[in-house]
Structure 1
Amino acid sequence: MASISSTSASHFDELRWLINIRRSLAEELEEEEEIEVPVSIFNVPKALMLTDPESYVPQLVALGPYHYWRPELHEMETYKLAAAKRTQKHLQCLQFHTLVENLMRFEPRIRACYHKYLHFDGETLAWMMAIDASFLLEFLQIYGIRQGKKTLSRMSAHNSILRDVVMLENQIQLFILRKVLEIQNSSLESADELLVSMLNGLSKELSPLRTMDHSVKIDVSTCAHVLNFLHDTIVPKLDEEQCETSEPEDNKTSDSQVPKQLLSESWNLVSRMKRNSFRIIKALLHSRPARVLLKLPLKIVSNLPGILILKQLIKHVFFPQDNEEREAKPDHGSGRNKPPPAEEIAIPSVEDLLKSGVRFIPTNGNISKITFDPNTVTFHLPTVTLDINTKVVLRNLVAYEASKASGPLVFTRYTELMNGIIDTEQDVKLLSEKGIILNHLKSDEEAAELWNGMSKSIRLTKVAFLDKVIEDVNKYHNYRWNVKARKFFKQYVYGSWQLLTLLAAIMILILLTFQTFCSVYSCSRVLRIQA
């Protein structure tokens, strides 16, 4: 009986699949549906998901098919159904299933927007979209009423929904919201006007940076979803010159650079000679005869006071390979399921830049206004607001940019810049004093962890105007005399402590050997020294 029932179920699935295929091919799609629809709702890349899963997985409400069947999110289905009932009252004497039937005509377009294959039939997918769109529109209407916005923005549940709404895997298409509003308002123009006002209010609430000038209106027909709209309000449209990365001109050398290059090559030659001589000394000390000769005096004088400390020091300096082998042994258990380490760009921290004379000034614009003026030594950065929702917004904007097929990773490069200049809570405090960071988190340490936790994108991040700023900052900082002196001492003095320790240990060893020899033989008689 079980085999018969499974066979009939399989036959039913095949029949339903065949009916859906025939209906899809027989339907005459509208002209706008004949246009190729790009994928816009992606799965978060695993490299990013491993760093902080809670920032990418909805915690309260599921919108769309990716997280629809998660049992911990079913509690919100009651509120979603209540929103659908209220939507039905505004459908102008139409039934809710009429809206569903309208959405079923867009099934191919809906499926094309999702990166993952959807295991739903057309009717189930249409009902899901109609209910989720009703809930999302009712939630977004709060941002058309300023009084309601001020009241609900302080509620923890409201903030949880806000974070879920901007997650990359929790998006539904804006054209579905437009279709629902069009049926309610009997006009596509009024529907778009209402939708833009709600999305602008949402952007004001969630945007960590100042949004674009309201005179620049964003066409909702070109935006895929809420996260896409938020990205377009924050990230400026760049010119081709700002997107292109200039190639280094290795073959072009001016006359003024010849002495500099000659001095640099001479210094590199001296450095290589130093390294080669150090390798020769190290190889001789690691040879078997040298090890025997060095260990033999230790056995003779090992019982003398204080010699045990010297013995450990000499072993650590002369025979470090034992420690290196111990440290090199892999720990098979500790590295399992660990996320990839976050990478930072090469740029000094805020504290180091301030010590070298750099001034930080907040800008009135967005990311495109980030500049560094070497004449006035001024670093211009946009004001950024950090609150309970900022981490989720930042991470999902980066995930969206990394998943798109094209376009420069402008916002990702901005987060890498902030990650590079912020190392500790002191850096956050200094930027807060300059008015660049408006920190509404519990502490400066939490803000520093937020920026330091931003991992590098999975795609190559090259934005010409931001890379130029980073290059100019590094050039100014590295050519300061105090920075040069610090680097010189760190590289050639502090970095040579092993060689200095080696020479000191050899000198002490020679003196101890000489002292032991003199204790056995009369040095004054041998050397003919008069007492």
Structure 2
Amino acid sequence: MPLNCDPNFDEHRWIINIRRTLGEELEEDADLPVCIFNVPKALMSIDPDSYTPQQIAIGPYHHWRPELQEMERYKLAAAKRTQRQLQRIKFQNFVEHLMKLEPRIRVCYHKILDFGDETLAWMMAIDAAFLLEFLHIYAIKEGQALTRVSSRSMSHLADYAGRNSGHNAILRDIVMLENQIPLFILRKMLEFQSPSMELADDILLSKLIGLCKDLSPFKMIENLPHIEVSECAHLLDFLYNVIVPKLEEPIEMTEDEDRDHNDEEAQGRKRLFADSNHVKKLLSKICNKGPLRFMKKMLLNLPCMILSNLPGFAILKQLLQHSCLSQDQEETTQEQESSNKTNKPPLVEEITIPSVTELSKAGFCFSTANGSISAIDFDVKTATFYLPTVSLDVNTEVLLRNLVAYEASNASGPLVFTRYTELMNGIIDTEDDVKLLREKGVILNRLKSDEQAANLWNGMSKSIRLTKVPFLDKVIEDINNYYDSRWCVKVGKFMKHYVFDSWQFLTLLATVLLLFLMTLQAFCAIYGCHRSFHHVKNTTERLS
């Protein structure tokens, strides 16, 4: 039986691809990292539509899908207009130039591309022509029409922008992780149309900045971070570099300092542990010797010995013993679970933090922060939680999900953007949470309802791996500590844990009440409470 059961598997083409890959010499491009990935299965399984293009295929991953072939004629029309703009240079010349860059193109993709060299070059050239024409809409919006566009091309651009639903569908598709082409291809095509590479980079940068200002869910600050187009891998990578802040390198301790610090902490813990054990042993010896031991037993056992002779107390004794035993077993189980949890990494599904509604009831205030994710902060003095303004529209969810997927696939460091989405998922549970943030200006909701916005954030909970982001983790820790220190929170937790959620407490309360009633009944039976009550009643009637 063959190892590969795929009916479309071509052994001859596979061997050719292997031979070509082994024989390639990338020279200066040998250390180029993979930048266009397949979406991780853990994310794809949650919401496939957010990662799978619905309107147009850009690049090789989804090129042959039948449902996307309708847009191919629009891409070919864009290629024809680009060919007219090239004037002296034919479109064929650009394709031949891309064929020389074919090894560099292939190395950008995580999946082996089962295409011939010429097929891949034509695909990239046509997709680049369409993408540049589509992005020119945003350069026009910014008042930076740096390329020559014919009147017919302008009408096509207006047609793209005019059909709002179709435009948004294309916009969502071109930011998907699996729907990218290397940015150096766009730079090469603009270089063919421009006098210099510097001007080509300026033109491309103007298009990308216009797209970012229109598409970014965060309020873009006036001074955008300086980003070199030549250093960006593709369009989604540019958006990621603009939206996600660069973290400064953490301060690392030397090995000697780290060892000394750990030794001091270890010695301190040992001394504290030894002292506490010494005190416990001393108290145990004192309490278990001589008269104190006898007094302890008498104090604990005498009431039970006296009350056990009362009628009906045997049943109550069994209930009390069962209740206490169950509670001890539950506490032992909880201690074992807590000890096990300390040895396991925390769940990455959702950050442990109160919701917006709970924080608001505890006296927290919410305010907008000037900037992006790096501006998230918590002021303990005023109990104010600062969050950046985020705008939610029909394109936001797809962009957020693909930024998370790209970060998880590409970044070896902390997942900053993923941590931000986990934070928002943690504080937003219901539409009431969204409403409070919307009233404070933190969320600009352009969706149909607050419930839809809440579902957006709650659906972002899946993470690929556990990560720590120092400045965000510090904010979360400060909020939790301040929240737990509030008296209203302490009282609420006590009532919830020991009253409402504790059937043992309610059983004990009912037992004590029943014991009181039985004692009262026995007392009245012995001393004649009924006759005394009638005597008092008759005396009162005579006096009146």
Classify the TM-score, shorter chain: 0.7 to 0.9
Letter in 2 for 1:478: D
Structure-2 residue corresponding to 1:185: 194
Structure-2 residue corresponding to 1:37: 32
Query: CA deviation digits over 1:39-59, x for unaligned, max 9?
Result: 111111111111111111111
Q: Relative to 1, partners in 2 of residues 1:154 and 1:243: Cα closer, same or farther, differing over 3 Å?
A: farther
Does structure 1 retain, via aligned residues, the 8 Å contact 2:349–2:463? no
Q: Relative to 1, partners in 2 of residues 1:95 and 1:138: Cα closer, same or farther, differing over 3 Å?
A: same
Does structure 2 retain, via aligned residues, the 8 Å contact 1:243–1:463? no
Matching of residue 171 in structure 1 with residue 180 in structure 2:
yes
Q: 3-state DSSP class of the match of 1:116? A: coil
Write the mapping of 1:390-405 to structure 2, written as runs, cut at 5 A: 390-405=396-411
Letter in 1 for 2:370: N
Q: Relative to 1, partners in 2 of residues 1:151 and 1:178: Cα closer, same or farther, differing over 3 Å?
A: closer
Structure-1 residue corresponding to 2:443: 437
Unmatched segments (≥5 aa) in structure 2: 1-8, 144-156, 281-313, 316-322, 327-346, 532-544
User: How well do the aligned residues superpose, as a CA RMSD in angstroms?
Assistant: 4.1
Structure-2 residue corresponding to 1:207: 216
Query: CA deviation digits over 1:351-380, x for unaligned, max 9?
Result: 111111111110111111111110121111
Does structure 2 retain, via aligned residues, the 8 Å contact 1:243–1:464? no
Cα distance in 1 for residues equivalent to 2:199 and 2:116: 32
Structure-2 residue corresponding to 1:345: 351
Q: 3-state DSSP class of the match of 1:416? A: helix
Which has the higher Rg, Structure 1 or Structure 2? 2
Cα distance in 1 for residues equivalent to 2:402 and 2:197: 30
Q: Relative to 1, partners in 2 of residues 1:77 and 1:243: Cα closer, same or farther, differing over 3 Å?
A: farther
Structure-2 residue corresponding to 1:160: 169
Structure-2 residue corresponding to 1:197: 206
Q: 3-state DSSP class of the match of 1:169? A: coil
CA-CA distance at 1:211 after TM superposition: 3.0
Matching of residue 460 in structure 1 with residue 455 in structure 2:
no
Unmatched segments (≥5 aa) in structure 1: 1-8, 267-292, 295-316, 321-340, 516-523
Query: CA deviation digits over 1:103-152, x for unaligned, max 9?
Result: 01111111111111111121111111111111111110111112978982
2:104 to 104, 109, 117: 109
Structure-1 residue corresponding to 2:377: 371
Cα distance in 1 for residues equivalent to 2:16 and 2:68: 29
Q: 3-state DSSP class of the match of 1:145? A: helix
Cα distance in 1 for residues equivalent to 2:183 and 2:354: 42
Write the mapping of 1:64-143 to structure 2, written as runs, cut at 5 A: 64-143=59-138
Structure-2 residue corresponding to 1:278: none
Write the mapping of 1:227-238 to structure 2, written as runs, cut at 5 A: 227-238=236-247
Q: Where does structure 1 differ by over 6 angstroms across 4 or more consecutive aligned residues?
A: 9-12, 147-151, 247-250, 252-255, 505-512, 527-531
Does structure 2 retain, via aligned residues, the 8 Å contact 1:48–1:455? no
Does structure 1 retain, via aligned residues, the 8 Å contact 2:365–2:384? yes
Does structure 1 retain, via aligned residues, the 8 Å contact 2:351–2:422? yes
Structure-1 residue corresponding to 2:365: 359
Structure-2 residue corresponding to 1:413: 419
Does structure 1 retain, via aligned residues, the 8 Å contact 2:388–2:442? yes
Q: Relative to 1, partners in 2 of residues 1:423 and 1:23: Cα closer, same or farther, differing over 3 Å?
A: closer
Identity %: 60
Does structure 1 retain, via aligned residues, the 8 Å contact 2:128–2:186? yes
How many residue pairs align between the two structures? 440
Letter in 2 for 1:186: P
Letter in 2 for 1:94: I
Letter in 2 for 1:251: E
Cα distance in 2 for residues equivalent to 1:346 and 1:354: 16
Question: Normalized against structure 2, the TM-score is what?
Answer: 0.72
Matching of residue 56 in structure 1 with residue 51 in structure 2:
yes
Structure-2 residue corresponding to 1:46: 41
Cα distance in 2 for residues equivalent to 1:15 and 1:344: 46
Does structure 2 retain, via aligned residues, the 8 Å contact 1:143–1:149? no
Q: Relative to 1, partners in 2 of residues 1:507 and 1:398: Cα closer, same or farther, differing over 3 Å?
A: same
Does structure 1 retain, via aligned residues, the 8 Å contact 2:160–2:167? no
Q: Relative to 1, partners in 2 of residues 1:242 and 1:139: Cα closer, same or farther, differing over 3 Å?
A: farther
